[in-house]
Structure 1
Amino acid sequence: MILKTKLDRIMNNSYSNIGGMLVLKNGEVQYENYLNQCTAATTFHVFSVTKSIISILIGIAIDKGHIKSVEQRVLEFFPEYGVKRGEKTIQNISLKDMLTMTAPYKYKAEPYAEYFASDNWVYSSLDLLGGKGKMGEFRYTPIIGPDIFSGILVNATGQSVRDFAQKYLFNPLEIPIGNNVVFHNKEEQMAFYNAKNIKGWVAGKTGVNTAGWGLNLTTEAMAKIGQLYLDAGIWRGKQIVSSNWIMESTKEHIRCNQLRLSYGYLWWIINEKEHAYAAMGDGGNIIYVNAKKQMVTAIASLFIPKAKDRLKLIKDYIEPMFENYEE
């Protein structure tokens, strides 16, 4: 109880935008708390945590034979897409290049206004893929680019991203997901960023769900995803995603020197020796898994710019508190 009171105090004093936190050890809840008028039922826009969910869906699609392997070229999934004359780089970009954020793009700064105004976010991303940048160099793309994964999933499975995710991931984990959220103007989009407890998954005008942001989850849902990965893809005796995919997607493939972290397949690699990795989203949303310590930490947050580092909170306070904790 003393440890939990201390953590309550740390959260209130230094991490004031946290809405919910769940800490699991050996699959058992060690700590659960909700702040800022949030509850266990509150859903949060988890921003780039969405990317790691997409990684899971790509793994499931490979498990089911919809996608042959990560070595497939991206354009194999878009036979109708016309490559502009003289463009060669895009033709060689593989699914693996995109999963590891090592594919080049034609822009220095993401052209958000043009992208959001376009009628087809997948094609807009394809139009910006390639160029003269070097293959194999880490380049994190927050929004423009990941939607190509959504297009791949739709074309490979013949289902919407949401329907595929609902059937093979969310339903087995008993995670409720609302309907598609479609913006009709910039004001609606800004309201979505700042709102509390909006359910659903953002989709563009074509109905294709976003892959880099836009998913809403409860804190418990985030913890379930972490526990699924900690348990090698098994949930209540059923293999949801293969253990091979989990191992491959949560090991280092490339280094991000700017953040001093490594990257897997749309997962951040925190500590390879402890097999610790995380799905991280803007505003301080995180699903953190430490296989060696058999711990999962899910933190859902209300959006603020430049939120305080959740990894520091987890590594400096939460892991030491609960590593050997017993009620």
Structure 2
Amino acid sequence: MADYTDNWEGKIENAKTFNLKVEIENLGFENAIFKIYNNRSIINYPFNAVNLDRITIPFTENISFEGVLSKNGTAINGFIKSGLMLYHLKLVKSGNNSFVGDWNILMIDELKAPDFYLSVENGSENEYQAYPVLGDNRFTGTWCDNFQKENDSITFSDFKTGLQFKGKLLPNKIHLEILLGKNVITEIDLKKSVTDWKIGGFKTDKATTIPELSELENLIATNSFPNTHSVLISKNGKLIYENYFEGYTANVPHDMRSASKSISSAIAGIALDKGLFKSVEQSIFDFLPAKYQVQKDSLKSKINIKSLLTMSSGLDAIDYGINANPKSPAVEDNYQKSKDWIETILNTPMINTPNTKANYGSANPYLLGIAMDSVVSEPLELFMDHYLFQKLEISNYVIFSDLNRNPYFGGGMYLTSKDMIKFGELYLNNGKWNSKRILSKKWVEDSFKNYLALQNTTDKNGYGYLWWHHNYQVNGKNVSSIEARGAGGQYIFVVPSLNAVVVITSGNFRNGKIQQPEIIFKNHILPYLKKLKN
């Protein structure tokens, strides 16, 4: 492999290669067929579809589909579990007992660049690593492992998307197949790179501008606010501004990172509203299997649902800001490397009495997700879809999962910016959307209370039920905002005093500009909103 340790590149011929069609034929019969295809047939899996209560299709190794037929029989809502991703699909009836939908496995609607790159590293005899990179950097990348070599064949896997890679080593060339299980999606011939890789750099489509926001658009266009991907503003329930940058569009779900913690909070609220658990005062140990009860002691027994929602479990689970303890087993990067995430977190020392001090850490909402999974009678992702996303008319989204392939409440969902606006409006309207009650008013009120200050953040922000509090000074006046926040600059700003919701998505994962949206919001959007008549 030393001879192949280099940068390689090729072209993906069809921009829609990874935009797969999914079809179920003969639903309700023994001779049903589950199909996945692009310009070639990829999956053609026969199954018995007589039982329509829940449709489960394990169509290839470690990848499956599970869905539910709507009451009116016109659609199937479900998920493909592939790698660590739970891809939501809505298959719509297209004929007699036939249902069709789309699966965008790379989370983008169409490749804006055909370039495919492969970095082969640390080659020595049969040892190597290989990392694919797309010229279209709107795809958030692969997490590859399981590097194998046998004679002139190499294989490796992306455990994030579930894609498999198989390469044939040829003189001055690598012939690479990208597969779903053992089924080929596409093939690419790679040659050694002789120039630097060209990644991203997509021009922004010119949108209809609001004069008061033209300065903001110019600053984004000239890279003064780098890696800004979208800015949307809703006022009085109406979308009044929508703009996308760097190739992003209304159809591309964006990596929300920890901003989706606020969605996790909503799911807990829905479960409580439905009486699936008694109270936020219940101990986390009321929801855990017997094998974890040995971790219970007089102090840890006081960790309850409320303390998980308010980041005040008392565990040494700090993983945000300069005060984080990198050696703590409950830091996100640490517990996610362990075999048993729950055990690792519960073994963590206590540094405070629960519900007395708040320290931001993803281990808290992760345990919340475990609790919610224990009280619902169906797979948690189907519960989330049925009681939240379908009611918000959201179908184009992806959920990041844990090692057991259950929704990870610590963050990592992919939603479009317009759907993020919907979620913010749900809370702005006290749990209603389009006049439909989804969350109780009490849960929204409780969620937006300022319980404790986050000790490990620079601004010592107040914190609600997985919602941030922040105050902005505009022309000498204070404006309070309640926010969902995620790494890289993913923000949902809910501003009750202005009856407004603002969404900003970004890609500042490595340059320290994670709070750039706050500057945009304070200096450009709030002054504009303050000038508008109610």
Q: TM-score range by the shorter chain?
A: 0.7 to 0.9
Distance (Å, rounded) in 2 between the aligned partners of 1:118 and 1:282:
22
Cα pair 2:498 2:529 within 8 Å, conserved: no
**Aligned AA (1:40):** A
Report matched runs for 1:142-221 at 5 Å.
143-178=362-397, 200-221=398-419
Cα pair 2:213 2:524 within 8 Å, conserved: no
Larger radius of gyration: 2
Cα pair 2:313 2:364 within 8 Å, conserved: no
Distance of aligned partners of 1:132 and 1:21 in 2 relative to their CA distance in 1, 3 Å threshold: closer
Distance (Å, rounded) in 1 between the aligned partners of 2:346 and 2:504:
33
Partner of 1:56: 266
- TM-score, normalised on structure 1? 0.85
**Aligned AA (1:103):** S
Please state how far the C-alpha of 1:40 moved relative to its aligned partner: 0.5
Distance (Å, rounded) in 2 between the aligned partners of 1:127 and 1:215:
27
Cα pair 1:44 1:302 within 8 Å, conserved: no
Task: Report how many aligned residue pairs link the two structures.
Answer: 303
Structure 2 runs not aligned, ≥5 long: 1-209, 318-324, 473-477
Partner of 1:309: 516
Render the CA deviation track for 1:252-278: whole Å, top value 9, x for unaligned: 000135323210111001249855200
Distance (Å, rounded) in 2 between the aligned partners of 1:297 and 1:47:
17
Partner of 2:426: 228
Distance of aligned partners of 1:72 and 1:275 in 2 relative to their CA distance in 1, 3 Å threshold: farther
RMSD: 2.2
Report matched runs for 1:251-270 at 5 Å.
251-256=449-454, 258-270=458-470
Distance of aligned partners of 1:317 and 1:153 in 2 relative to their CA distance in 1, 3 Å threshold: same
Distance of aligned partners of 1:274 and 1:243 in 2 relative to their CA distance in 1, 3 Å threshold: farther
**Aligned AA (2:357):** E
Structure 1 runs not aligned, ≥5 long: 179-199
Distance (Å, rounded) in 2 between the aligned partners of 1:85 and 1:65:
27
Cα pair 1:147 1:212 within 8 Å, conserved: yes
**SS of 1:60's equivalent?**
helix
Please state how far the C-alpha of 1:4 moved relative to its aligned partner: 2.9
Distance (Å, rounded) in 1 between the aligned partners of 2:516 and 2:298:
40
**Aligned AA (1:116):** Q
Please state how far the C-alpha of 1:85 moved relative to its aligned partner: 6.8
Partner of 1:184: none
Please state how far the C-alpha of 1:86 moved relative to its aligned partner: 8.0
Render the CA deviation track for 1:78-125: whole Å, top value 9, x for unaligned: 142434478332111111111111112246334455422333434433
Cα pair 1:251 1:264 within 8 Å, conserved: yes
Please state how far the C-alpha of 1:158 moved relative to its aligned partner: 2.4
Distance (Å, rounded) in 2 between the aligned partners of 1:253 and 1:277:
13
**SS of 2:230's equivalent?**
strand
Identify the range of structure 1 (314-323 vs 33-42) with the bigger mean alpha-carbon deviation: 314-323
Render the CA deviation track for 1:271-295: whole Å, top value 9, x for unaligned: 4985520000010100001011011
Distance (Å, rounded) in 1 between the aligned partners of 2:339 and 2:214:
50
Distance of aligned partners of 1:132 and 1:288 in 2 relative to their CA distance in 1, 3 Å threshold: closer
Distance (Å, rounded) in 2 between the aligned partners of 1:208 and 1:259:
33
Report matched runs for 1:66-215 at 5 Å.
66-84=276-294, 87-106=297-316, 108-109=325-326, 110-111=328-329, 112=332, 114-128=334-348, 131-135=350-354, 136-141=356-361, 143-178=362-397, 200-215=398-413
Q: Which consecutive aligned stretches of 4+ in structure 1 deviate over 6 angstroms post-superposition?
A: none
Distance (Å, rounded) in 1 between the aligned partners of 2:241 and 2:404:
41
Render the CA deviation track for 1:283-321: whole Å, top value 9, x for unaligned: 010000101101110112224222243222212210111
Question: In proportion to residue count, which structure has more strand?
Answer: 2
Cα pair 1:283 1:301 within 8 Å, conserved: yes
Distance (Å, rounded) in 2 between the aligned partners of 1:302 and 1:147:
24
Render the CA deviation track for 1:175-215: whole Å, top value 9, x for unaligned: 1245xxxxxxxxxxxxxxxxxxxxx2111221221111221
Identify the range of structure 1 (93-102 vs 256-265) with the bigger mean alpha-carbon deviation: 256-265
Indicate which of 470, 478, 496 corresponds to 1:291: 496
Identity of matched residues, %: 29
Cα pair 1:75 1:81 within 8 Å, conserved: no
Cα pair 2:292 2:343 within 8 Å, conserved: no
Indicate which of 298, 308, 319 corresponds to 2:526: 319
- TM-score, normalised on structure 2? 0.54
Distance of aligned partners of 1:156 and 1:127 in 2 relative to their CA distance in 1, 3 Å threshold: farther
Report matched runs for 1:1-12 at 5 Å.
1-12=210-221
Identify the range of structure 1 (267-276 vs 286-295) with the bigger mean alpha-carbon deviation: 267-276
**Aligned AA (2:435):** G
